[in-house]
């Protein structure tokens, strides 16, 4: 039977939780034609093997193995894109979301009571008993900040547990930013036309197995999403961060240059060279952490990326100086010529480094799969001499 409901489940190292979740879905969704699509971002704890086994045994289970792409929201979107069911749900794999809510959510959508049903911690009957005071507080603040981009009244726009109609998916999917991990908020802020929302309470459970993947920069990513929803239409938010990093680099450059010249008494060319290299290196590092978070370079790629970045910036500086010199020659005032040069240089640096340094090209990842299953690895390695 064709599924009426697709449940999209993002996974990143959830080996233990996946089979338990499937069992529970099977139990609570009797009589409903459902399927689950797990979207895994190349877990290295054996989750993929578990998913593969399940999918071979149960036609309701599918999975997508994503390589070279990352991020909770984009994973969920990819799962949705693979579905042809009239109703789509998103739910965490770690059993923190109450699966018993799914049938009520479906009921509300079938009855056309809403376009979207949200599993909510902040309506009567909902909660999150296991959360510490500060974490609750942070969640509350994030919820308040979401108000300007939300056009509907919703107590828990941060929820990662919701179900929507295919029609709503269609009218938001072309505009969602897919950045970060707040897909619900993203969808609501992107949908064309009014959205009818219903909230159903549930108790957010504690995680039993595995660890949370939402790390220290989660708040930062959240701000990016908000900023993107507010001004992203006019100017790419990534470019704004890139420029902020660039401004920081310029300040650093001038401070190093000044100190070397006047405090250390070095000559200008030496001071300028040191300041330039330092500023570029710091810029590269900051861009790698903030601007290109989703495509972050690591290990050896970091080193080669740094050298590519130097090369790109060198060309950018050359273009900058050429343009500024030309304009100055045309009697454009010094600050106008200088600014124009800097802007064109930045656009160049941004555009080219995003392609050359932080390309989307797939970096082959060293396999860290359970080794015992690979017979080639079991053979003892012989060194040339023995």
Q: Which residues of this protein are in contact with ligand GDD, per CB under 6 A?
A: 10-12, 14, 39-41, 70-72, 75, 92-94, 96, 139, 158, 160, 181, 212-214
Q: How far is the CB of 70 from ligand GDD (least distance, A)?
A: 5
12 binds, among ligand GDD, Mn ion, none (CB under 5 to 8 A by kind): ligand GDD
Nearer to ligand GDD, 102 or 158 (CB): 158
Check residue 159 for interaction with Mn ion (CB under 5 A).
no
Nearer to ligand GDD, 70 or 356 (CB): 70
Cβ-in-10-Å burial (0-12, 13-18, 19+) of 353 comes to buried
What SS3 state is found at 179?
A: coil
Collect all residues with Cβ–Cβ distance below 8 Å to 181 and sequence separation of at least 6. 71, 72, 73, 160, 214, 218, 221, 222
User: Interface residues for Mn ion in 169-208 (CB under 5 A)?
Assistant: none
Q: Which of 41, 94, 115, 186 binds Mn ion (CB under 5 A)?
A: 94
What SS3 state is found at 289?
A: helix
Length of the chain: 386
What is the side-by-side order of every strand in the sheet holding 197-201? Answer: 61-65, 34-40, 5-11, 87-90, 162-165, 116-120, 197-201
Check residue 288 for interaction with Mn ion (CB under 5 A).
no
Scanning the structure block, which residue is given the tokens 């971002």? Answer: 41
Structure tokens at 28: 């609570």
Check residue 96 for interaction with Mn ion (CB under 5 A).
yes
Cβ proximity of 137 and 149 under 8 Å: no
Q: How far is the CB of 138 from Mn ion (least distance, A)?
A: 15
Per rule CB under 5 A, count of chain residues that contact Mn ion: 2
Query: Alpha-carbon distance 268 to 265, whole Å?
Result: 9
214 binds, among ligand GDD, Mn ion, none (CB under 5 to 8 A by kind): ligand GDD
Q: How far is the CB of 303 from ligand GDD (least distance, A)?
A: 25
Cβ proximity of 245 and 287 under 8 Å: yes
Nearer to ligand GDD, 72 or 226 (CB): 72
Nearer to ligand GDD, 70 or 274 (CB): 70
What residue ranges bind Mn ion (CB under 5 A)? 94, 96
């Amino acid at each position: 039977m064709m599924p009426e409901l697709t449940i999209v489940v993002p996974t990143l190292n959830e080996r233990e939780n996946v089979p338990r979740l499937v069992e529970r879905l099977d139990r609570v969704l009797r009589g409903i034609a459902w399927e689950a699509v797990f979207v895994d971002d190349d877990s290295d704890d054996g989750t993929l093997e578990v998913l593969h086994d399940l999918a071979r045994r149960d036609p309701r289970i599918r999975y997508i193995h994503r390589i070279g792409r990352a991020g909770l929201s984009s994973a969920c979107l990819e799962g949705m894109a693979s579905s042809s069911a009239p109703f789509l749900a998103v739910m965490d794999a770690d059993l923190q979301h109450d699966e018993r809510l799914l049938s009520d959510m479906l009921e509300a959508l079938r009855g056309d009571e809403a376009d979207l049903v949200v599993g909510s911690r902040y309506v009567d009957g909902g909660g999150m008993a296991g959360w510490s005071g500060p974490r609750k507080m942070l969640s509350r603040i994030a919820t308040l900040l979401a108000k300007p981009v939300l056009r509907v009244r919703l107590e828990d726009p941060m929820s990662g547990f919701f179900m929507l109609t295919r029609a709503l998916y269609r009218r938001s999917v072309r505009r969602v930013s897919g950045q970060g991990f707040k897909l619900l908020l993203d969808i609501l802020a992107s949908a064309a036309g009014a959205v009818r929302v219903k909230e159903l309470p549930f108790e957010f459970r504690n995680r039993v197995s595995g660890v949370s993947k939402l790390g220290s920069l989660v708040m930062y990513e959240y701000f990016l999403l908000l900023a993107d929803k507010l001004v992203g239409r006019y100017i790419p938010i990534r470019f704004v961060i890139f420029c902020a990093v660039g401004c920081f680099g310029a300040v650093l450059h001038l401070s190093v240059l000044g100190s070397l010249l006047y405090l250390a008494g070095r000559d200008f060319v030496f001071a300028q060279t040191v300041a330039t290299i330092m500023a570029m290196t710091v810029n590269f590092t900051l861009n790698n952490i903030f601007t290109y978070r989703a495509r972050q370079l690591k290990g050896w790629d970091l080193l080669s990326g740094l050298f590519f970045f130097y090369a790109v910036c060198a060309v950018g500086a050359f273009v900058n100086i050429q343009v500024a010199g030309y304009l100055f020659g045309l009697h454009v005032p010094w600050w106008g010529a200088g600014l124009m040069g800097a802007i064109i240089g930045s656009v160049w640096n941004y555009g080219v480094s995003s392609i050359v340094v932080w390309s989307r090209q797939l970096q082959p990842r060293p396999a860290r799969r359970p080794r015992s299953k690979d017979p080639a690895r079991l053979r003892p390695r012989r060194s040339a001499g023995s």
